[in-house]
Amino acid sequence: MLPSYYTKSLTPMKLLTTIAAVLISISALSQDYIEYDNGTFTQNGEELSMEQVKDLTVLHKAGRGNVRRGINFDEMHKNEKQLLRNNIVRFTGGAATGFFGGVGVLISGILIGDLIWNGRFSDASLGPTAIVTGATTYFCVVSYKAFSRVALSPAECLRKRDKEFYKVADKLNEAIKAANQ
């Protein structure tokens, strides 16, 4: 038999409150996360539409760019004209910025070499050299980004789509986990 202080402390109202608090905490902690597999997102065992996924990314402020890129790769997989148009634009843009970046690296190297060789390297010459080096670095990054969006085949589009959508699922799950804590 329980001592009297145990039975008095568990009134029916306190018991119901305790049970409700436990159930709420369990449901909050066991919220099902977003899963992605082969073109479909699921949550709680139910398939999510792409609109629902977009809404979740806006709600949690996570993975919006990845959703957009994944949808673009999915559309390129279905439409080869769009794939060709994307590749031409990205390749041309990447080649042009890469060319300007390469020319900038060459000019920057010549400037730095000339300044060091002639002993004129000073604080005054550091500014223009830093600007040229920064601009060329920017061009190289833009060039890499442009070339990374080139998909040579429809199968590669699916691989890149899956890569983007897995990132979306991971980012959404991190946001959901952070919201629960």
Query: What are the pLDDT digits (tens) for 51-110?
Result: 999 998 998 898 899 999 899 888 888 888 888 887 788 788 777 777 877 777 777 777
72 belongs to a structural domain? yes
Lowest mean pLDDT segment, chosen from 10-14, 64-68, 116-120, 176-180? 10-14
59 belongs to a structural domain? yes
2 belongs to a structural domain? no
26 belongs to a structural domain? no
175 belongs to a structural domain? yes
Number of domains in the chain: 1
17 belongs to a structural domain? no
DSSP code at position 32: P
18 belongs to a structural domain? no
DSSP bridge pairs for 41:
36, 48
Query: How many beta carbons lie within 10 A of that of residue 157, not counting itself?
Result: 23
Residue 63 φ/ψ, nearest 5 degrees: 80, 15
Range of the domain at 72: 33-180
Judged on CB neighbours under 10 Å (0-12, 13-18, 19+), 129 is: middle
45 belongs to a structural domain? yes
Query: How many beta carbons lie within 10 A of that of residue 108, not counting itself?
Result: 20
Sheet holding 35-37, edge to edge: 35-37, 40-43, 46-48
* Confidence tier at 26 by pLDDT (50, 70, 90): very low
